[in-house]
Structure 1
Amino acid sequence: MHPAFSVVFFTTATGAGYGLLALLGVLGGLGFVQPEIWFGLVGMALALGLIGAGLLSSTGHLGRPERAWRAFSQWSSSWLSREGVASVATFIPAGLFGIGWVLLGGSGGWVAVAGLLAAAGAVATVCTTGMIYASLKPIAQWHSRYTLPAYLIFAAMTGSVLFNVLLQVFGIGSKGVLIVALLLTLLGWGWKLATWRYNDRLEITTTANTATGLAGGTVRSIEWPHTEENYLLKEMGFRIARKHSAKLRRIAQVLAFALPAALLMIAFALPWPFAAAASVLAALLQFAGMLVERWLFFAEAKHTVTLYYGR
C-alpha cells in the first residue's frame, strides 16, 4: 500500500494523544494526580493538540477534503465513519474534564465521570482506527489478530511516555509511571517483532487461479488491462525493496523501542533535571520511530488486487 504521510502522521499523533488523554482522564479524574493549573493546561493542550493535528492531517490524502464531513453518515456500516463519530464525541467529555480538573481544580464527582468518559472515548476511538485496517480482508497483513492490539498497545506506550515527560518536567516525578512506560515500550517492541514474524511467514491462499476459478496449471496475465499507471497500481500496488524494508525495520526498532527504553532506565536512575531531559529525549525519539513503524505498516501491506497485474 502507498504510505501517504498524512495517514502515517495521523495514526501516530492521534495514538499518542489518545493514550495521554486516557491517562489524564483516569488518573486526574480519580485524584491520583492532583490538579495544578500549568501541569493540567500543558497536559490537556498536548493531548488534544496531538489529536487535533492528527485528525486534520487525515484529510490530506482525500481528493476532496471539504467533503470529509460525509464520512460521518456511514457509521452503521463503516469503521472509518465510526472513527470519526467517536473522535468528535470524545471531545465533549474531554472538554468538561479539562474545565473541571484544570480550571476549577477539582477531582472526583462529575470531574471523575467526565475523565472516565474521556478515557473510554479515547480507547474506543483507537479501537475504531485499528478496526479500519483489521477489517480489510483483501490485505492479509492487516486482517490478523495482531493489528487491533497493536494500535491499543502503541497508544498506551506513547501516551505513557508522554505522561512521564509531563511529570518529570514539572518536577513531580513518579517511579511507577516510569516503570509502566518502560514495560509498555518493551511490550510494544515484542508485539511488533511478533507481527513482523507472522507477516513474513504468512502464506497468501488467494492466487490468480483461485481468483479466476481456473484450476490446473498456472494462470498468468498476458497483457495488463491498461497501458499506464492508474489509481490501483499507485495506491494498492506500492512495493518496497526487501533490503530497504530490513533497514527501516532496524531504524524503527532503535528509535521507537530500544533507545526510549534505555533512556527511561537512565531517567529512573538519575535525579531531576537529568531525568526530565532523558524523558523528553525518549519521547521525541519514540515519536520519530513510530512514524517509521507506521510507514512500514502501510508500505509492507499487499492488496490482493495486485494479482490482476502479475504482482
Structure 2
Amino acid sequence: MHPAPSVIAFSTFSGLGFGLLFWLGFGVPAVSGWSAFAFFTIAYLLAVGGLISSTFHLGHPERALKAFTQWRSSWLSREGVCAVAALIVMAIYGAGLVFFDAAWQPLGILGALLSLGTVFTTAMIYTQLKTVPRWHQPLTPFYFLSLSLAGGALLAGQITWTVVLLIAAGAVQIATWLLGDKALKQSGTDIASATQLGGIGKVRAFEPPHTGTNYLLREFVFQIGRKHAQKLRVISFGLMIVLPVLLLLLPFSHLLAVVAVLAHVAGVLASRWLFFAEAEHVVGLYYGKR
C-alpha cells in the first residue's frame, strides 16, 4: 500500500504517547508537581499530535466526529472512543499528581488500560483486513503493542524494562516480517481468484484494466524492491532495537539517553513505513501488479 506520511506519523507518535501514559498510569516513574507536568505534557503532545495527524489522510476531515457513532462494528470508531476515554481519565489522574500531589491510583490504572486499549484498537484496524494478508495475522497487534510499551518505558526512563521490552519487540518484528513475506502466497489468493476467471483456465495479465490511474492504484498498489526492503529492515531494526539497547547498557548519561530515544523513534518510523509499503493489497492482483 502507498505509505501516507500522516498515517506513519500517527501510528508512530500516538503509540509512543499512549505507551508513556500506560507507564504513568501505574505510577512509573513516581512523579508529582512540575515533574509530572513535564511527563504528561510529553505524553499528550505525542498522543494527541499523532491522533491529529491521522485526520490529514481523511478525504473529509470535518466528518471525523461521525466515526465515533460506529463503535459497535468499526475498530476505527472503537479506537476513537478508547483514545478520548484514555485522555480524559489520564488528564484527571495527571491533575491530581500535578496540582494536589495525590496519586489517585484506580484512575491511573484505568487510564493505563484504556491507553493500551487504544493501541490495540489501532492495530486491529489493520489486523481485520483480509484483503491485506501481511496484516491479517495474530502478530500484528503484538507488533503495535510491543513497540508502544517499549517506547513508553524508554520515555519513562525505565532502563531495565526498556531493554527487556525492546528485545521482545525485536523478536516480534522479525517474526512479523518472516510470516508476512509468506502471507499473500499462503492466503491462496491469486489473479485467477481476483478476476473470478479461474474456472475458464489459466489466467495471466495481458493488458491492464485501463490506461490511466485511479484511486485504487494510488492508495493500494505500491511496490518496493526486495533489495531496498531488506536494507530498510536492517536500518530500522538497528535504529529501533539494537542501538538503543547498546546505549542503555552503557553507564547512564542524559546524552546517551536522548540519542537512544531519537534512534528508537527514527527506527520505528522506518519500520512503520515498511509496514505500509510492503502491504500487498489483493486488489493489485486484478491489475497484474503482484
TM normalised by structure 2 equals 0.95
Which of 53, 66, 86 is the equivalent residue of 2:62? Answer: 66
Matched, 1:3 2:9: no
Matched, 1:208 2:191: yes
Which of 118, 129, 138 is the equivalent residue of 1:136? Answer: 129
Stretches (4+) displaced over 3 A: none
* Structure 2 match to 1:174: none
* Structure 2 match to 1:235: 219
Aligned-residue Cα RMSD (Å) equals: 1.4
Which of 138, 159, 169 is the equivalent residue of 1:145? Answer: 138
Quick check: 1:9–1:291 contact (8 Å CA) kept in 2? yes
Q: Distance in 2 between matches of 1:35 and 1:163?
A: 10
**Structure 1: which 5+ runs fail to align?**
165-176
Output aligned runs, 1:36-51, within 5 Å. 36-51=32-47
Output aligned runs, 1:177-196, within 5 Å. 177-196=158-177
Q: Distance in 2 between matches of 1:240 and 1:208?
A: 20
Determine what percentage of the aligned residue pairs are the same residue.
42
Quick check: 1:157–1:181 contact (8 Å CA) kept in 2? yes
Q: Distance in 1 between matches of 2:22 and 2:246?
A: 25
Which of 236, 245, 253 is the equivalent residue of 1:252? Answer: 236
Quick check: 2:119–2:144 contact (8 Å CA) kept in 1? yes
How far off is 1:216 after superposition? 6.4
* Structure 1 match to 2:82: 86
How far off is 1:214 after superposition? 2.3
Quick check: 2:135–2:180 contact (8 Å CA) kept in 1? no
* Structure 2 match to 1:284: 262
**Structure 2: which 5+ runs fail to align?**
none
Quick check: 1:35–1:106 contact (8 Å CA) kept in 2? no
Q: Distance in 2 between matches of 1:301 and 1:145?
A: 15
Alignment length (residue pairs): 286
Quick check: 2:17–2:43 contact (8 Å CA) kept in 1? yes
Quick check: 2:223–2:278 contact (8 Å CA) kept in 1? yes
Quick check: 2:16–2:151 contact (8 Å CA) kept in 1? yes
1:87-140 C-alpha deviation (Å, 9 max, x unpaired): 111121111101111211012xxx111111110110111110010000000100
TM normalised by structure 1 equals 0.89
Give the AA of the match of 2:191: A
How far off is 1:208 after superposition? 2.1
